[in-house]
Amino acid sequence: MKISLEGKTIVITGASSGIGEATTRACVHAGMRCVITARREENLKQLCDELGERCTYVAGDVTEEGFNQHLLHTAGDAYAIFANAGYGLDQKLVDYNMEQFQALFKLNVFSAIELASLAAQQMIEKKSGHIILNASCLSKFSVPSNSAYCGSKAALEAIAKSMRIELKKSKVFVSTVHPIGTKTEFFKESSMRSGTEFSEFEQNTPAWLMQKPERVANAVVKCLRKPKPEVWTSFPIRFLSVAYSALQR
């Protein structure tokens, strides 16, 4: 049985570009009301102007104390959240930088889990809702020079599994999204934060493993209509993740 999305509200973080922006468009086209957030207010304003009254924004930093609560209060009766905000870090573990590591986890993990927990409290009362966390295919296996990012996504996945069990009786769905390489500003942002000219991970990723953000967005909407624990946009990589778990060598 499919869930009707018409008129339902979803909160989307990291919506100023990439997957968040594409998912906002897809959700509005599916009949949902979107409350979006990111730090770049001008990008959010342009997106809302384009999509009309179904889309409103709250500019700000999801890692700031009290912001997620303010975001949910502004959204009102939110049926779903898509915790999408995050970035990578091109850094070998031998060059470990505590401040950079902590900052990445603060955004990628702690802000997402805070938003999910606050939203779950509202959803439990209504016995309805859907929490979606943007993990990554790299939550299943790691790549060199990206230990912080891979670790943050693995943490998100593990926490989501616990939440899924805890919230099942309350009829609140919990899903994780596992994109492969996506053509967004992600790699440029990672390089900038890492102080490198380019992302080695992006350069070493073959073209067939890169996808458009719209593919992820459509998969998220499909999951909202028919919830499932994990959302994958590449069957070969899904298969590879299973093989890696069984045969790590």
> What is the average per-residue pLDDT within 169-190?
84
Tell which CATH architecture fits domain 9-246. Answer: 3-Layer(aba) Sandwich (3.40)
Say what the pLDDT of residue 185 is: 67
Contact by Cβ (8 Å): 157, 114 = no
State whether residue 91 is helix, strand or coil: strand
Contact by Cβ (8 Å): 84, 17 = no
Question: What's the DSSP call for residue 111?
Answer: I
Say what the pLDDT of residue 245 is: 78
> What is the average per-residue pLDDT within 228-247?
87
* Range scoring the smallest mean pLDDT among 14-23, 170-179, 192-201: 192-201
Q: Tell me the sheet residues that pair with 130.
A: 80, 173
Contact by Cβ (8 Å): 13, 85 = yes
Say what the pLDDT of residue 145 is: 86
Q: Whose structure tokens read 């009707």?
A: 4
Question: What's the DSSP call for residue 141?
Answer: S
- Statement: residue 25 has pLDDT above 80: yes
Contact by Cβ (8 Å): 10, 79 = yes
Contact by Cβ (8 Å): 73, 51 = no
Most confident of 1-5, 52-56, 95-99, 185-189: 52-56
Say what the pLDDT of residue 240 is: 84
- Statement: residue 231 has pLDDT above 90: yes
- pLDDT digits 0-9 by tens, 80-136: 999 999 998 888 888 888 999 999 999 999 999 999 999 999 999 999 999 999 999
Contact by Cβ (8 Å): 83, 110 = no
Residue-wise DSSP of 66-79: THHHHHHHHH-SEE
Those residues whose C-beta lies under 8 Å from the C-beta of residue 109, and which sit 6 or more positions away, are 152, 155, 156, 159
Burial 239-248 (b: 16+ CB within 10 A, else e): eebeeeeeee
Those residues whose C-beta lies under 8 Å from the C-beta of residue 163, and which sit 6 or more positions away, are 116, 120, 131, 174
Give CA–CA dist 84/133, Å, rounded: 6
Give CA–CA dist 101/93, Å, rounded: 10
Say what the pLDDT of residue 208 is: 66
Mean confidence (pLDDT) of the chain: 91
pLDDT band at 64 (very low <50, low <70, confident <90, very high): very high
* Range scoring the smallest mean pLDDT among 87-91, 102-106, 161-165, 201-205: 201-205
